[in-house]
Amino acid sequence: MGKEKSLRFFVTFWFLMASLIPILILGAVSHCFIKWQLEKNIDKQTRILARLVAQDLSRLFSTQQQLLAIVKNDLESGVIPAEKFQQYISSFRLDKTVFESLLLLDSSGQVKFISPYRKEFLGIDFCNYDFFKKVMKTRGSLWSDTFVSPFSGKTSIALGVWSKPGVIVGIIDLEKLSGRMSKFESAKGVNIIVTDSRGIIIAAPDKNIVAQRMSVKNLPVISEALKGNYGTFRYSMGRIEYIGCAENIPEIGWLSVVTQPEDIAFASLHSFNIFFSIFLGGTLLVIIVVSLIAPRNLLRLLRDLKHQISNIASGKYEKTEKLMKFKVREFNELLNDVRHMSLAIRDRERSIEEAKRDWEMTFDSVPDLIFLLKENGEIFRANKASADYLGYRVEELIGKKCYEVVHNTTEYPASCPHVRSRQSGKLEVEEVRLDDGRYLFVSCSPIIKDGKFVGTVHVARDITEKKKLENEIIRSKNLLENLFENSAEVIAVVDRQGRFMKINRRTEEIFGYSRDELIGKKFDKLYADKNELNELVEMLRKDGVVHEKEVHMILKNGEVVPMEMSVSLLYDNNGQLLGSVAHAKDLREKKSLEAQLLQAQKMEAIGILAGGIAHDFNNLLTTIKGYSQILLMDEQIRALEGEALQEIERSASRAGELVSHLLTFSRKVEHTSKLININDIVENVKKLLDRSLPKNIELEINLDSDLATIKSDLVQVEQIILNLVINAKDAMPEGGRLEIRTENVTLTEEEAKRFVDAQPGKHVLLSVIDTGSGIPEEMLTKIFDPFFTTKEVGKGTGLGLSIVYGIVKSHKGFIDVETELGKGTRFNIYFPAEYETGIDSLSTKENIKLPSGKERIMIIDDEESVARVGVQILSKFGYDVTWAPSGEEAVRLFQESDEKFDLIILDYMMPKMDGLACMRKIKSMDGNVKILFATGFVSDIPFEELYNHGATGVIQKPFDVNDLLTAVRRALDEANK
Amino acid sequence: MAFICVRNRMKMSKYIKINAMLGIFLSFLLSPKLIYAQSWIKLGFVAGITGMASDMDVNMRDGVLYAVEKINKFGGIAGRNVQLIIKDDKRNRDVAKKVDLELVNDHVVAIIGHSTSSMTIAGKSVADSSGKLLISPTAASEDLFGKKDFVVCVNASLREETARLAKVARLKLHIRKMACFYDTSNRSYTENYLTWFATFFNKYGGEIVKKVAFNSQKMDEFWKIVSDLHLKGAKGVLIVAAPLHSAILVQKIRNCKENPEIFCVSWSLTSTFLKQGGKAIDKVWFCSDFNPECKKDTYIEFSRGYKERYGKEPDLMSLLGYETVLILREAIEKSNGNTDNLIKYIPGEYDGLQSRFTIDEYGDAHRNWYLLRVKNGKFVTLMSIDN
């Protein structure tokens, strides 16, 4: 919309327009008409003038040509003899012609005769002039281009006429031609020029122009005329506009051109323009004055009308009754109508005001939040409830965007009902959560005006409390659902008819049925024992609840499983029985663990028993072995009873091995540990087996190339494999397949729970699998018992699997046996995987040649036979040996002895004062004395503690001569170092 | 108060607007050419375009005019059309000064002219006093060279021409004795030319045995001289004159018993000379910075356009006239419209129509030189010559 202007401006402006436009149109039409007339006249006049000039020159040139034709005739007719030619030419009155000079050129172009005569002019060569060449060629007559006459030095043209004696040439000074132009001088500014066929000016009233030989070929009037287009043209030369016309001079191809500057030619039009401009200015002034005075009365009426309408606008209806009177009737009628209109407006306004008040009261009384929104979401009306709820005043809400006050954002929230309503044109609802946690239920109804969406009625209700309740219910429901679904126990809800209503995931996992298979089905088909079912139903009926009753259920695969069942009845809010809910616990794992625990306890007891027997056996064997070796040292005895004594020693050694096996089973044998890869051992065993296994047994080795290491004694693991392989071989007398397999396994918590001694984590699994006869179930609990064997007497000791068991236990591993009668057995040995490095290597047995000495040694051992063997051996090899039968006696002897003891050999296990207490005592008396412990239970000895208290070393019983002497010598030498 | 002031200002500006609109309206109605006139660049041209020796000047003017028409056809110089104001100095020193002054008062940006060295020296005083650039396409007198003034010579110095011509005459053609004819109407050039030629010719062991002066403005006197020629045994004749007079002299000299070699100067190197010299002009020698047989594209295009425009072949004068306007165009463009001190934008190297040339800090041109001879009525280039 443009800038506001006053009525006076419009009246004056349109008045001016109405007056000026016709004048301007008239002026323009007059201008065009005058110009058209002038152009017509100028064209006519210039054409006539150009034609006159052309005709004049045409006549002149014809005359000159005729003159030269006479000369030619005279020369060729022979009337004039050749020697009289000069005289003949000189006789011409050139001043009566336009020729400046007349000459005869010979055929080579040189001046032969000339008038007026000058000797020096003779011989001047014209052979290079174009007109001469053409005349000679055509034998006709021709006008030359302009040139500077060699005789006069003036700009000239020449007419050449061929004749037998030569070319007759008449040279015309162009100034003479220009002189003829002066008679055509007409109106002021009119220029008359003559150009040659190249557009060069050759004649003009101003002789200077001719002398300059100016080429005006570039002017349109000339260039067009040279092309044969004659007529009037307008063109500019420099800054001046010209109008010009050209006519042809046919005899010589020249042009007569008449030109006139446009401002001179159109001078009358220019005068008209000035006159019209002055007239226009005057008219403009008059119109302005008139347009200012004329509309005064109308403006007064409008001012009054404006005043009255202002009164109406400001509600001063009474003042409209006092109206002014005009002389114009229509004005008075108009003012009267305005008065009536104002009273009608007043009445209507009052009734609208009342209706508005009622509506606003209702609007503000509604407890819901109501906004009236524009299309762009701007609030243009809001009730009191909305202002109170949102913490604004009603006026503050007006003009704000709905999302600014409700959501405190700068744009619409996602799924805004106002936006949706704008798009759909329908009622849209949405639950909205405010930043402070309150909830609103919002509905937006579109406001349609003239079929177009203009906004919405936005009604919101606080539903915070309702929403909280709903959320609480949902949360509780979800919790219950989770508890039910994720319970580790079987939970099932059964209706009054005994049909499953709901079961949890554990039920599906244990029973193997899907929900679809169980929901709606009777529960009693899952009970293996109907008596148990009846008993349970009876208990429920009687007590309303059943606690942890063991029952047997049938799984989908037909397996009967013991379960611990608890059942309680379910009632609705009205106390009506709905059904029951049952909890069941799978007892299979529990039962299995109980069995394993029993086995472990049994094995532990057997181990302790075997260990105790072995201790005593060791002492006895030490004595037997020792004395045998002492006797064999005597040359005479050896000669008489050598074989018998060696047999005794061998038997004692075998018995020692037997004891060693027992100790292994009871885990009381020492083993040295380092990181080993079982695959290496299997590869070694394979070499042995390849040679020793019967041909009908196929050996298959499957090793995991990335197998983890274990911390173990290489020999012991080798023994495990050999013992298992021997058993497998014996189980396949008819042949079969034997597989040794290694692999890495990771036991989860769940898997570890299946075995008594198992810990979750990474393990190395060694499996020995055969396709033999298998192990009957009743024997499975006994296979690890010492001396249990199914082999014939003399074919097995019954210690093979016991040793395996002992070794595995000492490695903190465990064994799993899978067997099926007639199909085979699989022993799975699990070792904890280890990844440490740098474990000490096994010490190699040194080959010492029975060392001897003279030091003083005390042997403290409660077992006299063992002590005596020691005394005898050491005495035989030069030592001074004293025996003490107990710790107390040893302390006493040590105190009383005048001579110092170099070494004490001390039994670790003694009644009353044990080895450790005895050592402390002796050390307190002599801190430098060396102490060598002797024991049959190396694994039970707290080495760290012993060494911390000053022990020098340990020797294992039963020892032989070599072992004892070597250990004693090393202890003494070590001490000396 | 402030509000009232604003209103008053608004009213005032409204009246100013109305008045301005009315003024523009009336200006268009009454005098539309006032604004139009602002866009023209005025160039002055002065030469002796009338009279007996005007051929050379007319050709020079035609070259200048052709260049101006071409520039205007392609949009002018920096968007402004060029207006060429042509004056005639009538080969008169007083007239030359007078018309130069008229052009200065007409506020031309530069004066192209004059054609002869004498007239240029006359105009130099006006140029130096007014600070207006006077650029002569053809003047070659040594009097104009090597000076810090407001005169620029587009043609090379006559000293360079005489040095080469003397060398050819003496050392190539073995001429020992020379006769000279010269036009005193362009005394500054002709006498200067003769002096330098004699200097070089003597240096090479030659001798000027005769000097004949004439005034080309007086034809009777000229004809008397040519009617009785005595060469005093000279085997070579040097004519330092305008084309018409050289052509007539050549015709007359050919009749002399000595049958000398004839040498003309660049001034005569025009179509007028060829037309008016007849058969006698064959074998006449020239040494010039104009190569009539040039095959360079720019020259061929210029030659074709010039011939179409004027119906005649271009010569040295028209070429120099044309190149002078191109030099001025470049200088005006460099000046960014500030044409008061145009001369400082002139020095530099230019790609001429025929070859590259330079204008040094003194406003003096240095060009390539050629040895020419007339053969079968045409100028033929024999070779390019260095000093």
A99-147: per-residue pLDDT in tens? 889 999 999 999 999 988 888 888 899 999 999 999 999 999 888 888 8
Q: Is the pLDDT of residue B7 over 50?
A: no
B279/A126 CB distance under 8 A = no
Flag the least confident range among A618-622, A830-834, B46-50, B308-312. A618-622
Residue A28 contacts B, CB cutoff 8 Å: no
Instruction: Encode A566-589: b = buried (16+ Cβ within 10 Å), e = exposed.
Output: bbebeeeeeeeeebbbbbbbbbee
Mean of pLDDT over chain B: 86
CA–CA distance, A417 with A445 (Å, rounded to integer): 9
Q: Is the pLDDT of residue A844 over 70?
A: no
In percent, how much of chain B has pLDDT > 70? 90
A413-469 per-position pLDDT tens digit: 888 899 999 888 889 999 888 888 888 899 999 998 888 889 999 999 999 988 889
pLDDT score, position A677? 87
Which residue is listed with tokens 């006797």?
A631
A266-285 per-position pLDDT tens digit: 888 888 888 988 888 888 88
Structure-block tokens of residue B119: 């007239």
Q: Is the pLDDT of residue A179 over 60?
A: yes
Residue B324 contacts A, CB cutoff 8 Å: no
Determine the average pLDDT of the residues in A749-767.
84
| pTM to 2 decimal places | 0.49
A598 vs A213: which has the higher pLDDT: A213
In percent, how much of chain A has pLDDT > 90? 14
pLDDT band, residue A186 (cuts 50/70/90)? low
Residue B255 contacts A, CB cutoff 8 Å: yes
Show Cβ contacts of residue B25 under 8 Å, excluding neighbours closer than 6 positions: none
pLDDT score, position B255? 87
Report A:430-489 residues touching B (Cβ under 8 A): none
Min distance B72 CA to chain A CA atoms (Å)? 10
Residue A254 contacts B, CB cutoff 8 Å: no
A158-174 per-position pLDDT tens digit: 999 999 888 999 999 88
pLDDT band, residue B12 (cuts 50/70/90)? very low
Q: Which residues pair with A568 in a beta bridge?
A: A545, A581
Closest CA relative to residue A967, chosen from A916, A878, A904, A908: A904
Which residue is listed with tokens 């036991």?
A747
Determine the average pLDDT of the residues in A644-658.
78
- Write a three-state SS string for chain B: CHHHHHHHHHHHHHHHHHHHHHHHHHHHHHCCHHHHHCCEEEEEEEECCCCCCHHHHHHHHHHHHHHHHHHHHCCCECCEEEEEEEEECCCCHHHHHHHHHHHHHCCCCEEECCCCHHHHHHHHHHHHHHCCEEEECCCCCHHHCCCCCCEEEEEECHHHHHHHHHHHHHHHCCCCEEEEEEEHHHHHHHHHHHHHHHHHHHHCCCEEEEEEEECCCCHHHHHHHHHCCCCCCCCEEEEECCHHHHHHHHHHHCCCCCCCEEEECHHHCCHHHHHHCHHHHCCCEEEECCCCCCCCHHHHHHHHHHHHHHCCCCCHHHHHHHHHHHHHHHHHHHCCCCCCCHHHHCCEEEECCCCEEEECCCCEEECCCEEEEEECCEEEEEEECCC
A148/B272 CB distance under 8 A = yes
A321-340 per-position pLDDT tens digit: 566 666 667 777 877 887 78
A845 vs A264: which has the higher pLDDT: A264
pLDDT score, position A796? 56
A474-502 per-position pLDDT tens digit: 999 999 889 888 888 899 999 988 899 99
CA–CA distance, A872 with A858 (Å, rounded to integer): 12
Of B29, B219, B311, the CB nearest to A277: B29
Q: Which helix (DSSP H) or strand (DSSP E) does residue A883 occupy?
A: strand A880-884
Is residue A431 within 8 Å of residue A340, measured between CB atoms?
Answer: no
Determine the average pLDDT of the residues in A736-753.
88
**What residues of chain A lie within 8 A of the CB of B216, using their CB?**
153
A748 vs A615: which has the higher pLDDT: A748
SS3 at position A864: helix
State yes or no: ipTM above 0.90: no
Q: Which residues pair with A448 in a beta bridge?
A: A453
A505-561 per-position pLDDT tens digit: 989 988 999 989 989 988 888 898 888 888 888 888 888 889 888 899 999 888 888
Q: Which helix (DSSP H) or strand (DSSP E) does residue A662 occupy?
A: helix A635-665
**What residues of chain B lie within 8 A of the CB of A109, using their CB?**
278
Mean of pLDDT over chain A: 83
DSSP code of A425?
A: S
A785 vs A579: which has the higher pLDDT: A579
> What is the CA angle A706-A709-A711, rounded to 5?
170
Determine the average pLDDT of the residues in B214-232.
86
pLDDT score, position A335? 75
A583-639 per-position pLDDT tens digit: 998 888 787 777 777 777 777 676 667 666 777 777 788 888 888 888 888 878 878
A147/B275 CB distance under 8 A = yes
pLDDT score, position A6? 73
